[in-house]
Amino acid sequence: MQLLPGEHWEPLGEGHSIIVSTEHTFSTDTLLLANYSMPKSGELCAEFGTGCGAVSLLWCCQSSPKDVFALEIQQQACSQAQRSAESNGFSQMHVLQYDLCRLSQEPAKLLPVPLELNLVACNPPYKPLGTGIPNPQKSKAAARHEVGCTLEQIAAGATRLLRWGGRFVCCLRPERMPETFRILSAAGLEPKRMRLVQHQSGKRPSLFLLEARRGGRPGLTVEPTLLLQTETGACSDEMKKIYGEYGEGHK
């Protein structure tokens, strides 16, 4: 598979790799979201804002979903994800260049993704537009700030595509927790399962992972906090399991 200038392969584990670039790469948060949202065998899934495709590729590496629809608006990111899917032989992964803002308004016959999905996952921009300092690089600005799509639009799109009882999974910064719960509930996605993520014991949480269900009944399960490191700064045992062979390839 030919690489473009600035691109290189990163190992994902189990003999699979992903094309990353300066503009479109992935982080520990991506691995955490992929692990927390891992689909069941035979499920129909979508990833909103797939970027270079890491979450969708990890789903295909570690599970056996029937189909994975990876939606992304940026052409270069789509190119990377598509070539990665082809190189790994993941014919069940469908990379689609698409504006998520259109999902809740598009006529059903024009939707690029089938309705009645089992799972939608998204790593939304962490900061609302107008907060923080925007990154001058457009690809990174889109990943960090809601310059193109808001959390409300993401929630509305997920609600439209999910079957009744289908799961929406996301990860965000703790300061957005009240807003996220409000937006998801208003869209018909009831928060059902949550996990805080901390770098070390005694540190403040840096992230939360959340699963909501379309049409779910009220009632939230808060799972034990995930610690990324031990008190000595070493990778925790649970994170070693999440990293898996990817971690082995980056020692």
Task: List pLDDT tens digits, range 164-213.
Answer: 999 999 999 999 999 999 999 999 999 999 999 999 999 999 999 999 99
pLDDT of residue 126: 72
% of the chain beyond a pLDDT of 70: 89
Residue 219 lies in a domain: yes
- Mean pLDDT of all residues in 216-233: 96
Tell whether 251 is covered by a domain: no
Closest CA to 80 of 189, 147, 170, 7: 7
Longest dimension (CA), the chain: 55
> Measured between alpha carbons, how far is 233 from 212 in angstroms, rounded to an integer?
32
CA distance 34 to 40: 12
Decide if 153 is inside a domain: yes
Nearest to 174 by CA among 190, 201, 196: 196
The most confident of the ranges 143-147, 210-214, 241-245 is: 210-214
Residue count of the chain, please give it. 251
Q: Which residue has the tokens 């070390």?
A: 200
pLDDT for the residue 178: 97
Residue found under tokens 């009944």: 217
Q: How far apart are CA 118 and CA 193, in angstroms?
A: 16
With respect to residue 173, please indicate whether it lies within any of the assigned structural domains.
yes
**DSSP assigned state of 148:** S
pLDDT of residue 84: 98
Indicate which CATH number applies to the domain containing 229: 3.40.50.150
* 29-79 pLDDT tens trace: 999 999 999 999 999 999 999 999 999 999 999 999 999 999 999 999 999
Is residue 250 included in any domain, yes or no? no
Mean model confidence pLDDT for the chain:
91
Whether residue 16 lies inside any domain: the answer is yes
Q: How many domains does the chain have?
A: 1
Distance CA 11, CA 171 (A): 23
Residues 205 and 171 sit within 8 Å (Cβ to Cβ): no
The whole domain housing 159 covers 7-244
198 found inside a domain: yes
Residue 174 lies in a domain: yes
> In the prediction, which pLDDT does 81 show?
98
What residues form DSSP beta bridges with 207? 197
Sheet holding 221-227, edge to edge: 93-97, 67-72, 44-48, 117-122, 162-172, 207-214, 189-198, 221-227
